[in-house]
Amino acid sequence: MSENTEVEVGATMSPENLELLGRVSAALGAEAIIESAQAVGDLVVRVANASWREAAKACRGALGFNYLSFIGGIDWMPAPVVGGEAGDTSSPVQPAEQTYGAAGSAGRFQVFARVASTSVPRSGLTLKVDLDEESPAVDSWVSIYPGADWHERETWEMLGIGFNGHPSLRHLYLPAEFEGNPLRKDFPLLAREVKPWPGLVNVEPMPGEDVEEEAE
Amino acid sequence: MPKFEVDPAVHRGLADARLNVEIDNGDMILNLGPQHPATHGTLRLVVRLDGERVVASDVVIGYMHRGYEKLTEYRTYPQITTLINRIDWLSSFANEVPFVHAAEQLMGIEAPPRAEYIRTALTELSRIATFLLFLGEMGLQVGAITPAFYGFRDREYVLNAIESATGGRFHPNFNRIGGLKDDLPWGWIAETRESMRKVLKSCDEFEDLVVSNPIFQKRTRGIGIIPAELGASYGVSGSNLRASGVDWDLRRDGKPYLVYNDLDWKVWTHSDGDSFARYWVRLQETRESARMVLQLLDVMPSGPVMTKVPKIIKVPEGEVWVNTENPLGEMGYYVISKGATGPFRVKIRTASLSNVSIAPWLLRGVYLPDIITVLASLYFILGDIDK
* pLDDT attached to residue A204: 53
| Radius of gyration for chain B, computed over Cα atoms and rounded to the nearest angstrom | 21
How many whole angstroms separate alpha carbon B339 and alpha carbon B358?
38
How close is the nearest chain B Cα to the Cα of A156, in Å?
14
Question: Can you give the pLDDT at residue A30?
Answer: 81
Which residues in chain A are contacts of B334 at CB distance < 8 A? 70, 72, 112, 114, 126
Q: Please name the residue of chain B whose CA is at the shortest distance from the CA of residue A193.
A: B74
For residue B49, with 0-12 CB atoms within 10 Å meaning exposed, 13-18 middle and 19 or more buried, which class applies? middle
Q: Is the dihedral of CA B356, B358, B360, B363 positive or negative?
A: negative
Round to whole Å and give the CA distance between A105 and A99.
Answer: 9
Cβ(A69)–Cβ(B330) under 8 Å? yes
- Interchain contact, A176 vs B16, CB within 8 Å: yes
The shortest C-alpha distance from A50 to chain B (Å) reads 22
Task: Give pLDDT, residue A84.
Answer: 54
Decide if B235 and A99 are in contact by the 8 Å CB cutoff: no
Put simply, the answer to whether A118 touches B248 (Cβ < 8 Å) is yes
Q: Distance, in angstroms, between B304 CA and closest chain A CA? A: 19
Environment class of A135 (CB within 10 Å of its CB; exposed 0-12, middle 13-18, buried 19+): exposed
What is the pLDDT, as a whole number, of residue A202?
Answer: 47
- Distance CA(B93)–CA(B130), nearest Å, equals 11
Rounded to a whole number of angstroms, the distance between the first and last alpha carbons of chain A is 54
Report the range of poorest mean pLDDT among A59-63, B9-13, B127-131. Answer: B9-13
At A39 the pLDDT is 86
The pLDDT value given to residue B28 = 77
pLDDT band at B277 (very low <50, low <70, confident <90, very high): very high
B237 contacts A67? CB cut-off 8 A: yes
pLDDT band per the 50, 70, 90 thresholds, residue B268: very high
Judge contact between B334 and A114, C-beta under 8 A.
yes
Distance CA B91, CA B162 (A): 11
Cross-chain residue pair B361–A167, CB shorter than 8 Å: no
Q: Which of B65, B233, B342 sits opposite A147 (nearest CB)?
A: B233
Task: Tell me which chain A residue has its CA closest to the CA of residue B76.
Answer: A92
Distance CA B159, CA B134 (A): 15
Given a cut of 90, whether residue B73 has pLDDT beyond it is no
Chain B: nearest CA to A212, how far in angstroms? 32
pLDDT for B79 equals 86
Determine the Cα–Cα distance for residues B386 and B368; give it in Å rounded to an integer.
Answer: 25
Secondary structure string (H, E, C) spanning chain B: CCCCCCCHHHHHHCCCHHHHHHCCCCCEEEEECCEEHHHCEECEEEEEEECCEEEEEEEECCCCCCCHHHHHCCCCHHHHHHHHCCCCHHHHHHHHHHHHHHHHHHHCCCCCHHHHHHHHHHHHHHHHHHHHHHHHHHHHHCCCCHHHHHHHHHHHHHHHHHHHHHCCCCCCCCEECCEECCCCCCCHHHHHHHHHHHHHHHHHHHHHHHHCCHHHHHHHCCCCCCCHHHHHHHCCCCHHHHCCCCCCCHHHHCCCCCCHHHCCCCCCCCCCCCHHHHHHHHHHHHHHHHHHHHHHHHHCCCCCCECCCCCCCCCCCEEEEEEEEECCEEEEEEEEECCCCCCCEEEEECHHHHHHHCHHHHCCCCEHHHHHHHHHHHCCCHHHHHC
**Interface contact flag, A1 B233, Cβ < 8 Å:** no
Where does the pLDDT of residue A170 fall: very low under 50, low under 70, confident under 90, or very high at 90 and above? confident
User: Rounded mean pLDDT of chain B?
Assistant: 86
CA separation for the pair B275, B145 (Å, rounded)? 18
Strand bridging mode A162-164 / B28-32: unpaired
Q: How confident is the model at residue B17 (pLDDT cuts 50, 70, 90)?
A: very low
Residues B253-289, buried b or exposed e (16+ Cβ, 10 A)? bbbebbbbeebebebbbbebbbbbbbbbbbbbbbbbb
Beta bridge partners of A74: A110
Which chain A residues are Cβ-neighbours of B232 within 8 angstroms?
66-68, 118
Per-residue pLDDT for B169 more than 90? no
- All residues of chain A having their beta carbon less than 8 Å from the beta carbon of residue B253 are 121-122
Cα gap B15→A212, rounded to integer Å: 58
Q: What is the pLDDT of residue A207?
A: 57
Domains and CATH numbers, chain A: 2-215 (3.30.460.80)
Per-residue pLDDT, B1: 40
Contact flag B74-A74 (C-beta cutoff 8 Å): no
* Chain B environment of A167 (Cβ under 8 Å): 8, 12
Q: Which of B300, B372, B373, B334 is nearest to B114 (CA)?
A: B300
For residue B330, give the nearest of A69, A170, A175 by CB distance: A69
Per residue in B290-333, pLDDT (tens digit) is: 999 999 999 989 889 888 888 888 888 889 999 999 999 999 99
Percentage of residues in chain B having pLDDT higher than 70? 91
Residue B89 has φ and ψ, to the nearest 5°, of: -75, -10
Kind plus residue range of the DSSP H or E element containing A111:
strand A109-116
Nearest CA in chain A to B314: A92
Which bin fits A17, alpha (ψ -120 to 50), beta or left (φ > 0)? alpha
Shortest distance, CA B306 to any CA of chain A (angstroms):
17
Expressed in angstroms, the distance from the first to the final Cα of chain B is: 38
CB contact under 8 A, B62 and A189: no
Predicted local confidence at residue A28, as pLDDT = 86
Q: What would the pLDDT profile of A120-169 be if each residue is shown by its tens digit?
A: 888 889 999 999 888 899 999 999 999 999 999 999 999 999 999 888 88
If pLDDT is split at 50, 70 and 90, which confidence band does B368 have? confident
Find chain A residues with C-beta within 8 A of B107's C-beta.
4
* Radius of gyration for chain A, computed over Cα atoms and rounded to the nearest angstrom: 22
pLDDT at residue A195, rounded to an integer:
64
Mean pLDDT of B15-43: 62
Rounded to a whole number of angstroms, the distance from the CA of A120 to the nearest CA of chain B is 8
Q: Which residue of B has its CA nearest to A188?
A: B70
**Which residues of chain B have a CB within 8 Å of the CB of A69?**
235, 323, 330, 332, 349
Domain B68-386, CATH: 1.10.645.10
Residues 6+ apart with CB under 8 A from A84: none
Given an 8 Å threshold on Cβ–Cβ distance, is A114 in contact with B334? yes
- pLDDT of B21 > 60? The answer is no
CB contact under 8 A, A122 and B255: yes
pLDDT digits over A77-88, tens only? Answer: 887 766 555 555
Q: What is the pTM of this model?
A: 0.85
Under the banding of pLDDT at 50, 70 and 90, the label for residue A6 is very low
pLDDT at residue B8 tops 60: no
Q: Do A168 and B357 touch (CB under 8 A)?
A: no
**What pLDDT, on a 0 to 100 scale, did the predictor assign at position A90?**
64
Comparison of pLDDT for A201 and B256, the residue scoring more:
B256
**Residue B55 dihedral angles phi and psi, to the nearest 5°:** -90, -45
How large is the ipTM?
0.85
Q: Which residue has the higher pLDDT, A191 or A154?
A: A154
- DSSP H or E segment with residue A11: none
B160-to-B154, B196, B286, B294, B327 alpha-carbon distances in Å: 10, 12, 17, 16, 19
CA distance B69 to chain A (A): 8
User: Which chain B residues contact residue A1 at CB under 8 A?
Assistant: 105, 108-110
Among A111, A207, A117, A205, smallest CA distance to A161 is for A111
Pairwise pLDDT comparison (A210 vs B188), residue with the higher score:
B188
pLDDT of residue B143: 82
Size of interface A-B (CB pairs under 8 A): 160
Question: Is A94–B342 a contact, with Cβ atoms under 8 angstroms apart?
Answer: yes
